Amino acid sequence: MAAALALWAGAVAAAPPERVVSINLCTDQLAMMLAAPGQLLSVSHISHDPNVSVMLDTALGYPVNHGQAEEVFRLQPDLVLAGEFTSAYTVGLLRRLGVEVAVLPVVTKLEGIPGNLRAVGALLGREAEAEAQAAKFTATLERLRRHGSTAPRAALHYANNYTSGEHSLAHEILTAAGFRNIAAEAGLAGGGTLAMERLVMLMPDLVISGQAYPGASRSEEVLRHPAMEALRDRHAAGALSDAEWICGTPAVLGAVARLVDLHDAADTP
């Protein structure tokens, strides 16, 4: 992280970039929040997908790119914002073509989000805006945070029995809202699968299911499995949209707020 920041510092020394292109869903969000009018030329096509984009309305105001070096280069950007999971080939090719590419690391801690805001702010020459957003984020998170002595045990359950363990943003979101994460109890360090049998045996107080996407898939059938339905009938349950959980950006506050509502509802019988 420190090394990455140092790398950006070098890039920022010059005048602020005027033609910025973002090719990653998460950098899209940060760029749209912070960029000066006219500074951001294009966002990734994923930001136009209502299933995963939290800032859909804003994103619809920007032309999309598909993250391919050729189309990005044609926009003649002086800065490209990419994510850690952006194809290394694309990043390498753009750099060889002389385009400045900043690769933003994936954030697995809520504390890392203000840092990300400041980093993108520095890259765009919008330090003041970034500082304001970072302060707002920290204040809102502190206001939402639940510490209650009774921490209900929650299970995150996504397609293919995927769940998130201790070192993940989803775990931090759960904990901030005052829940304990059963995947961490089961010993999962990061993201991974937890067999449905094991999840049922852990008897969570709350099941938080991933959203269902259009079309059909066997992977998502586990979300409606009778055993999971039985767990949901027993206690509170929520189906949460994935969009707010994906990116280490202030969008996660939406997820925290929704979970806090579930927590408060569970507390008042």
Partner 1 sequence: MTRLLLPILSLLVAGLFAASLLIGPAGLSPVDSLAALIRGDRLAETLVMREIRLPRALLAVLVGAALGLAGAAMQGYLRNPLAEPGLIGVSGSAALGAVLALQTGFAGAYLFALPLSALAGAVVAVLLILMLAGARGGSITLILAGIAVSALAGALTSLVLNLSPNPFAASEIVFWMMGSLVDRSMDHVLLAAPFIALGALVLLTQARALDALTLGEDAAASMGVHLARLRLLLVLGVASMVGAATAVAGAIGFVGLVVPHVLRPLVGARPSALLPASAIGGAALVLMADIAVRLILPERDLKLGVLTALVGAPLFLHLIYKTRAQGL
List interacting residues with partner 1 (CB under 8 A): 159-161, 193, 195-198, 200-201, 203, 213-222, 225-227, 230-231, 234
Cβ 118 to partner 1 shortest distance, Å: 32
Do residues 165 and 189 touch, judged by C-beta distance below 8 A?
A: yes
Q: Residue 144 or 200: which CB sits closer to partner 1?
A: 200
Closest approach of partner 1 to the CB of residue 67, in Å: 16
C-alpha triplet 232, 236, 241: angle, nearest 5°:
85
What tokens does 180 get?
Answer: 């304990």
Alpha-carbon distance of 180 to 185, in angstroms, equals: 8
CB of 231 to partner 1, least distance (A): 7
3-state DSSP helix/strand/coil % of the chain, to nearest 5: 50, 15, 35
Closest CA to 33 of 94, 105, 145, 119: 119
Instruction: Quote the least distance from Cβ 192 to partner 1, whole Å.
Output: 8
Indicate the residue among 9 and 195 with the shorter CB distance to partner 1. 195
* Identity at 16, one-letter amino acid code: P
Give the list of residues 6+ apart from residue 97 with CB closer than 8 angstroms, or none: 69, 73
Least CB distance to partner 1 at residue 63 (A): 23
Cβ nearer to partner 1, comparing 58 with 193: 193
Which is closer to partner 1, CB of 14 or CB of 203? 203
CA 181 to chain centre: 18
- Cβ-based nearer residue to partner 1, 5 or 230: 230
